[in-house]
Amino acid sequence: MMSIGDRRSRNNDEARLIEQSRAGNTSSFDRLVEAHYTAVYNSAFRMLSDPDSAADATQTTFIRAFDALANFRGDSAFSTWLYRITMNVCLDELRKRKNQPLSLVTEDSEDDTSEEREIPDEADEPGARAEQLERQTIVHEAIGRLPEDYRTIVVLYDIRGLSYQEISEVLEIALGTVKSRLNRARLALREEMKPHLELFR
């Protein structure tokens, strides 16, 4: 677990990289990208369900972030600001698709198998991850069938672990709206997962 001192040091390092990036130092911005790439990509993948679309959305997110760095005032965490950009990019893409049904796995035409393309957390042990794959796939597919508003809030709260306050800042909605929408989203997700609930007991 990261200590308060380590967290403060990391925040100071990040603040310095942000200031250097604002001044046009692309190497500093590359370090910010490296630090946040996996979280942004995985969020985009959960929203868009396709590795290529997620990669494109991630690239667009960081391009927009670099262009808008002058507007980042530090009122919220840099990661929260990035999530807001990520969600906007993903929602733009979903609107282009006109809410067509999506799958959260991709088909491998050579051996007819499905493989999740999310960037794995390196802290996961291979054995434990393999055991969870079936349940993860079911959850991902169920999330992919949710309406955009529900999908967004489930990804931010249950997947990315943001607080109510952080989600309020990302989505620019009231705290009460965050809580009520999350409750409705979870009920909708449970309904989508009904045929497979025995796997989660």
* pTM, 2 dp: 0.73
Domain 4-200 has CATH 1.10.1740.10: yes
- Kind and range of the H or E element at 153? helix 148-154
The pLDDT score that the predictor gives to residue 128 is 58
Strands 113-115 and 106-108: antiparallel
The pLDDT score that the predictor gives to residue 165 is 94
pLDDT along the chain (201 residues), means of 10: 57 88 92 95 92 95 94 87 95 77 42 44 57 77 90 92 93 95 94 76 63
Sorted by where each begins, the domain ranges of the chain are 4-200
The pLDDT score that the predictor gives to residue 105 is 43
Contact 143, 189 (CB under 8 A): yes
